A and B are shown apart, each in its own frame.
Chain A
Amino acid sequence: MIDIADFFQPLALTKLILSLFFFLYLIFLFILINQIRRMNSVVSQATSSNLLFSAGIIQFAIAVLLLISVLVIL
Chain B
Amino acid sequence: MPDIFIPKNNNKPESVAAMLSSSASRLHPFSSYSEMPQGVHFENQEADETVLLFLRRHFVTNVPWIFTTLILLLLPIVAAPFFTVVNSLILLPDRYFLVIILFYYLLVFTYALVEYITWFYNISLVTQKRIVDIDYSHLVFHDVAITKLSLVEDVNYQQSGFIRSFFNYGDVLVQTAAKHDHFDFLAVPNPIRVIKIIEALIGRRREE
Is B106 at the interface (CB under 8 A from chain A)?
yes
**Can you list, as one digit per residue, whether each of B101-129 has a CB less than 8 Å from chain A (1) or not (0)?**
01100110110011011001101010000
Given contact pairs A11-B92, A46-B39, A69-B99, A39 touches B109 in the complex (Cβ within 8 A): no
CB-based contact B113/A32 at 8 Å: yes
Residues of A within 8 A of B144 (CB): 42
**Can you list, as one digit per residue, whether each of A10-49 has a CB less than 8 Å from chain B (1) or not (0)?**
1100100010011001001101100110110111111110
**Whose C-beta in chain B lies nearest to the C-beta of A17?**
B100
CA distance A44 to B113 in the complex (A): 18
CB-based contact A59/B109 at 8 Å: yes
CB-based contact B29/A39 at 8 Å: no
Residues of B within 8 A of A56 (CB): 113
- Number of chain A residues whose Cβ lies closer than 8 Å to a Cβ of chain B: 35
CB-based contact B38/A59 at 8 Å: no
**Can you list, as one digit per residue, whether each of B129-145 has a CB less than 8 Å from chain A (1) or not (0)?**
00000101001101010
Residues of B within 8 A of A43 (CB): 40-43, 121, 123, 125, 134
CA distance A45 to B27 in the complex (A): 8
CB-based contact B99/A55 at 8 Å: no
Is B67 at the interface (CB under 8 A from chain A)?
no
CB-based contact A39/B136 at 8 Å: yes
Of A11, A25, A42, A73, chain B has the most CB atoms within 10 Å of the CB of A42
Given contact pairs A14-B96, A46-B39, A52 touches B142 in the complex (Cβ within 8 A): no
Given contact pairs A41-B43, A46-B39, A48-B27, A66 touches B110 in the complex (Cβ within 8 A): no
Residues of A within 8 A of B120 (CB): 48, 52
B87 → chain A, closest Cβ, in Å?
12
Besides A10-B91, A11-B96, 5 new A-B residue pairs in contact (Cβ under 8 A), listed by A number = A14-B92, A35-B117, A38-B142, A39-B142, A59-B110
